[in-house]
Structure 1
Amino acid sequence: MSYAIGVDIGGTKIAIAIVDKSGKLLEQEVIPTDVDILPENMIHRINESISTIIDHAGIALKEIDGIGIGSPGPLDSKSGIITCPPNLKNWIDVPIVKEIGTYFGLPVTLENDANAAAVAEKWLGAAKECVDFAYVTISTGIGAGFYVDGKLLSGSRGNAGDIGHAVVDPSYGQCSCGQYGCLEYIASGTAIARRGSKIKGKELTTKQIFSLFHEGDEHITTYIHDVFQKIGVACVSIINTLDPEKIVIGGGVSKVGDPLFQAVTDYVRQNALNPAGRRTPVVPATLDQNAGVIGAAALCYNI
């Protein structure tokens, strides 16, 4: 039996797991992302965690095919470098593939985290039967992974699918990237917490804001429905551009459930250009929070 290590790097936590060729997680560990320490120190913690789960699983290093890493972009997947992710403020031109590969003596692959999650949904999840589909993750940030003609669309450096910085409504103000009205600035979990707190005049989490939405709070409900519409705008742009069979939405914000999927589906049915495109299914991801780490491991299996 052979195995792969998946590493899913996020702005608040890093998931690390051993995954076999059937997609089963054998061992998993989650460590907090400390953005206040040097990236090399954080990578040292990742290496220690990988070593720990290998020991716990009782697997020999020679049984591991490789290590796959899913990271927020921008990055350069071909050079193995994380270049400048907005949610990892100190991670500038970090040669993560070299640092982890040298430590373990194993092949290491780097991919955008949304692309890695798309690989997982293609392998085991909601897009198993699809040749052309889009996976959209809406969490701390927003990104997407695209399959076109059965192949992952990565771009020249691995940054294809960064739809979080597509402009959907400039009236919302200036995003950290410098543009006005980016989707991520409006509809990410971070954005919902920020604007919802402003609406209510007190500090609230995204989860608390969605609780107010489910309770029918008038001002929050109006705002969240506008968020759903902006996600619908993004989905229509994907449909008009790439003509996918299906759009799969994952990430923490997708846990709000049916209200999101119904609103986005309604918007697509009304506004996609092609009548056939208006029937594009918009569905929840099925691998939940494990999509990133499973997809990262799957990079080693050439799924």
Structure 2
Amino acid sequence: MTLSYAVGIDIGGTKTAIGFVDDGGEVLAKTTLPTDRTVPPSAMVDRIAAAVKQLAADAGVAESAARGIGIGAPGPINTRLGQIVKPPNLPEWWGFPVVESLKRHYGHLPIFFENDATAAALAEKWLGAARDAEDFVYITISTGIGAGIYSGGRLITGATGNAGDVGHFVIDPAAGTCVCGQQGCWEWIASGTAIARQAGELLGRPVSSREVFELSFSGQDDRMKELVNQVFRYIGIGCVTLINTLDPELVVIGGGVSQVGAALFEAVTDYVATYALNPSGRNTPIVPAALRQDAGLIGAAALVHVTYR
């Protein structure tokens, strides 16, 4: 295969996705590895490199056709130093120089490294719901909450690559202590993890966020309905904060919680229409992400392809 491609690597707390993505955004080949936290991160990088080589062999893709490698990882990170700094769900990787470690295997290729939400925002600009937007915010609501910011026609990444860590906006200080130590962070009260935790406390048993939505929408449990409505309100509050701060033309919401569908988007749109400060901000479209499957891979690969466009 002579078509050039980018290697996308999406590092997560439980699994790492690896794939080859061409310059049209098509995933040519992909695989996943468990993110083994019982071994040093450098050993995990060795496994990733071996998986890239095996994937190329299996797919009949020339390694020499790779334009570069893009890495997306949960923050906090430091893109200047190429380090995974302190992600709560990967404590074994704190302070790990992931770019330098990967260069042991691919020193001849350019390696791009960004927060995973930032990479996903770039993917939505490249191929997804934000293709026509020059100012937008991409929000992912899943295990946690994060954002990628695209403003004035470019990504806003901050001094160390951590712009958009919006999950730690304080939304409701009365809602308990977040894992970061602050009171009532957005992630603590409105992420998928938060929904399951709060529902479990009400029901007295473990419960998934998917079950919470099912109980709410079916009318089987008024407590779940009240909880879901409160979560939608919290998501609306966060969106209004971002709209008031950044004045985007579009807000894109992705991640597992976004897949609940129209009920979420209608509730958030109504909240924004009521409470955004600027009258034009009240009309900001709130839309679902277009890239769900392989979004992490495509986002990581976009770091390479969009750079060379």
TM-score bucket (shorter structure):
over 0.9
- Which residue of structure 1 lines up, in the alignment, with residue 260 of structure 2? 256
- Which residue of structure 2 lines up, in the alignment, with residue 155 of structure 1? 158
Query: What does 1:83-232 align with in structure 2 at a 5 Å threshold?
Result: 83-105=85-107, 106-216=109-219, 217-232=221-236
CA distance in 2, matches of 1:3, 1:34: 27
- Report the CA distance between 1:162 and its aligned residue: 0.2
Deviations 1:168-200 (A, max 9, x none): 011110011010101111111111111111111
- Report the CA distance between 1:275 and its aligned residue: 0.5
CA contact (8 A) 1:101 1:107 kept: no
- Report the CA distance between 1:163 and its aligned residue: 0.2
CA distance in 2, matches of 1:23, 1:113: 17
CA contact (8 A) 1:65 1:107 kept: yes
CA contact (8 A) 1:168 1:181 kept: yes
Of the candidates 237, 240, 246, which is equivalent to residue 236 of structure 1?
Answer: 240
Aligned residues: 303
Secondary structure in structure 1 of the residue aligned to 2:229: helix
CA contact (8 A) 1:16 1:30 kept: yes
CA distance in 1, matches of 2:13, 2:216: 26
CA contact (8 A) 1:192 1:206 kept: yes
Q: Which amino acid aligns with 2:235?
A: I
Q: Which amino acid aligns with 1:273?
A: L
Q: Which amino acid aligns with 2:19?
A: A
Runs of 4+ in 1 over 6 A off after TM superposition: none
- Report the CA distance between 1:221 and its aligned residue: 0.9
- Which residue of structure 2 lines up, in the alignment, with residue 48 of structure 1? 50
TM-score, normalised by the number of residues in structure 1: 0.97
CA distance in 1, matches of 2:249, 2:238: 16
- Which residue of structure 2 lines up, in the alignment, with residue 279 of structure 1? 283
Secondary structure in structure 1 of the residue aligned to 2:228: helix
- Report the CA distance between 1:43 and its aligned residue: 2.0
- Report the CA distance between 1:239 and its aligned residue: 0.5
> In 2 relative to 1, CA 214–31 (structure 1 residues): closer, same or farther, beyond 3 Å?
farther
Deviations 1:14-42 (A, max 9, x none): 21110000000001112222334322232
Structure 2 segments unaligned to the other structure (5+ residues): none
Query: What does 1:265-276 align with in structure 2 at a 5 Å threshold?
Result: 265-276=269-280
- Which residue of structure 2 lines up, in the alignment, with residue 38 of structure 1? 40
User: Are positions 1:300 and 2:304 aligned together?
Assistant: yes
Secondary structure in structure 2 of the residue aligned to 1:289: coil
Q: Which amino acid aligns with 2:7?
A: I
- Which residue of structure 2 lines up, in the alignment, with residue 289 of structure 1? 293
CA distance in 1, matches of 2:136, 2:83: 27
CA distance in 2, matches of 1:41, 1:210: 39
Q: Which amino acid aligns with 1:159?
A: N
- Report the CA distance between 1:213 and its aligned residue: 1.9
Secondary structure in structure 2 of the residue aligned to 1:8: strand
CA contact (8 A) 2:53 2:63 kept: no
Percent identity between the aligned chains? 53
- Report the CA distance between 1:292 and its aligned residue: 1.9
Q: Which amino acid aligns with 2:280?
A: A
Of the candidates 1, 8, 12, which is equivalent to residue 10 of structure 1?
Answer: 12
